[in-house]
Amino acid sequence: MKRSLILAMLCALCMFATASADTPRAEYPRPQFEREQWVNLNGDWTCELDHAMSGWDRKLFGSAGFDTRITVPFAPESPLSGVGHKDFIRCIWYQRSFDVPAAWSGKRVMLNFGAVYYESEVYVDGRFVGRHFGGSDSFSYDITPFVEAGGRHSLVVCASSDVRSGLQGAGKQSLREYSYGCMYTRTTGIWQTVWLEAVDECSLAGVHTQPDVDQAQVSFTLSMRRVEPGCSVDISVWDAGRRVARKSVRAAQGAVVTIPLKNARLWSPEDPHLYDVTFEVRNADGQTVDRVKSYFGMRKIHVEGNRIYLNNEPYYMRLVLDQGFYPDGVWTAPSDEALRRDIELSKAAGFNGARLHQKVFEERFHYWADRLGYLTWGEYSSWGMNTSDELAARNFLTEWCSIVERDRNHPSIVVWTPVNEEWWPDTRNYPRLMEDIYALTRRIDPSRPVNGASGGTHIVSDIWTVHNYEQNAEKLARIFYDEGRFFKTPCTVQDGSHGSTGFNNTESRYRYDFPEYDGTIPYFVDEFGGIRCLEVNPPQGDAWGYGDAARTREEFYDRLRSQVRALLDLSDHIWGFCYTQLTDVEQEQNGIYYYDRRQKYDTGRLHEIFSMPVER
């Protein structure tokens, strides 16, 4: 018996080592809730494109393998997947076999997905496990009833998508056959890591970490998978390997554990200091049955008047628009290093953060932002969703709440942005949806400001954001001066009788007076610039940037400097900016770096421009 147990453990260790060495995106995908016993399922799968959606009739859920090979976690549209199918994919079936380590006997086996676009169904050995709606949030299934320790099983995942339905968030995925304008290659199916994890019956399901700078303490709200008699949770806080606090409490669902942290070192872009934390669940005999590693930053973000404050000091944000696309992986970064590299490129150009635009970034990106000191605005992929439709609203609310709950522990995220550029909404469902989104976001995470509709029609918001791509700096300054000082914004739809969304709205009896800026909250320019330069991006095909392209690098630098200076000189009214954009993305060629992240401009000159002092 002892010899067989040793062999089983050796087999399990070999499996982990193989996954770590040979598997794409082999790093642990959930760095703020990390366990030791896990198996990465990325790598070689088989798949079948099911354009007619006949797979259920053909019982593909019981398949032992398909004819086409695909590399997970890269979407079938991407070169890295090995498939590279760029046309619409209505449905795709995946299959692979997996082994459950014998050492996991007596444990619960969790099957975790970083993200699958959009509606997914999961089967183990032909048996239905579960269905998920949402293309950007993470989800898990307890597959213990479907598997046995030491056994080999078949996993089938079916993913279906209809990006043109108006019912699901598409972000910048093209709604035409090919990319155009600011719409790019689509992502269908599995696009983030898939992994197995062993957990105990009495274990942590999640933790909400709430640093409190003003009270010099940190609180942890515990979510338990199951509570058994006599179980306790031991929490240790570590600073550079030295334990600085510890507290043990009785395990309870929703228990709030508060730990004082006197003279805490605060997290900021200038000093991204993080505390490590370990959670240990112990049974009635005092044995550790669950151990989770995490970290947090002591950081406060809030709004006072027309300023945004970081750690109780006014903080001017110099952000760049980051759309998170990659030439070889589309929505999926080719490597963990690529995620880190994007942040380093941005900081090298003089930015202290990014607006993460129309895409929900994976947790590993937030991990590197936490580590490197990089402020981010978390955003939903709202484009393509008809916010006037009630089913679309339900899909929106469910997924957005899941996203906020997943990412709220990251100190680098400082603002939530659920919607982008809703300019001509209806007057019945849109105001209701935006009020619900705001209220739910603040309930799930009361610690961050909410930017209701970036550059669009605000209903309720903690920050007033605007977009403008006027290329003449003097005209740009006049526009923002008039709006930011005299509180005048263009009037939007008042009777629901017209608009450019393409959705018919005949209920003109639902009148709504959309608010205008009144000067009581921060005014933030979260899209401007977008300058294209012909010297670095010669004319080709449908390539474009905003306004007339600069002809030379020097003309680009001059225009960029004048635009940034115009905003900085209005700091009494404008409290921060976001420049479009970090990299070129396919035909949109207005990035400060090329699409493949090669250097395009003199990074030192960019840093000098974006770091110019604020006019006081």
Per-residue pLDDT tens over the stretch 184-195: 999 999 999 999
The pLDDT assigned to 507 comes to 52
The pLDDT assigned to 13 comes to 47
Rounded to 5°, the CA angle 560-519-531 comes to 15
Query: What percentage of the chain has pLDDT greater than the value 70?
Result: 92
Give residue 165's region: left, alpha or beta (phi > 0; psi -120 to 50).
alpha
Query: What percentage of the chain has pLDDT greater than the value 90?
Result: 88
The pLDDT assigned to 508 comes to 59
Mean pLDDT within 369-378: 98
The pLDDT assigned to 505 comes to 47
Mean pLDDT within 305-329: 97
Phi, psi of 79 (to 5 degrees): -60, -35
Number of H helices, E strands in the chain: 8, 31
Phi, psi of 576 (to 5 degrees): 120, 160
Beta strands 353-356 and 375-379, pairing class: parallel
* 524 vs 574: CA distance, rounded Å: 6
pLDDT-derived band at 481, boundaries 50, 70, 90:
confident
Q: Which two tokens stand for residue 71?
A: 């590399």
The pLDDT assigned to 595 comes to 98
* 438 vs 385: CA distance, rounded Å: 17
The pLDDT assigned to 424 comes to 84
- Do 298 and 214 meet the contact criterion of CB atoms below 8 Å apart? no
Per-residue pLDDT tens over the stretch 231-290: 999 999 999 999 999 999 999 999 999 999 999 999 999 999 999 999 999 999 999 999
Rounded to 5°, the CA angle 285-291-293 comes to 155
Tokens 């609203």 identify what position? Answer: 393
Rounded to 5°, the CA angle 195-198-200 comes to 150
Q: Which domains does the chain have, with CATH numbers?
A: 2-199 (2.60.120.260), 214-296 (2.60.40.10), 301-610 (3.20.20.80)
Q: 119-158 in b/e burial notation, b at 16+ Cβ within 10 A?
A: bbbbbbbeeebeebebbbbbbebebbebbebbeebbbbbb
Q: What is the dihedral of CA 128, 134, 136, 138, to 10 degrees?
A: -40
- Residue 62's identity, in one-letter code, is G
Higher local confidence (pLDDT), 388 or 315: 315
The pLDDT assigned to 504 comes to 42
The pLDDT assigned to 482 comes to 80
pLDDT at 11 over 80: no
Beta strands 256-260 and 275-282, pairing class: unpaired
The pLDDT assigned to 509 comes to 74
For residue 60, give the DSSP letter.
Answer: G
pLDDT-derived band at 485, boundaries 50, 70, 90:
low
> Using CA of residue 384, residue 413, residue 367, residue 597, what is the dihedral sign?
positive
Q: Give the helix/strand (H/E) hosting 282.
A: strand 275-282
Per-residue pLDDT tens over the stretch 501-540: 333 444 557 788 889 898 999 999 999 999 999 999 999 9
Give, to the nearest 10 degrees, the angle between helix 603-610 and helix 553-568.
20
The pLDDT assigned to 462 comes to 97
Per-residue pLDDT tens over the stretch 138-181: 999 999 999 999 999 999 999 999 999 999 999 999 999 999 99
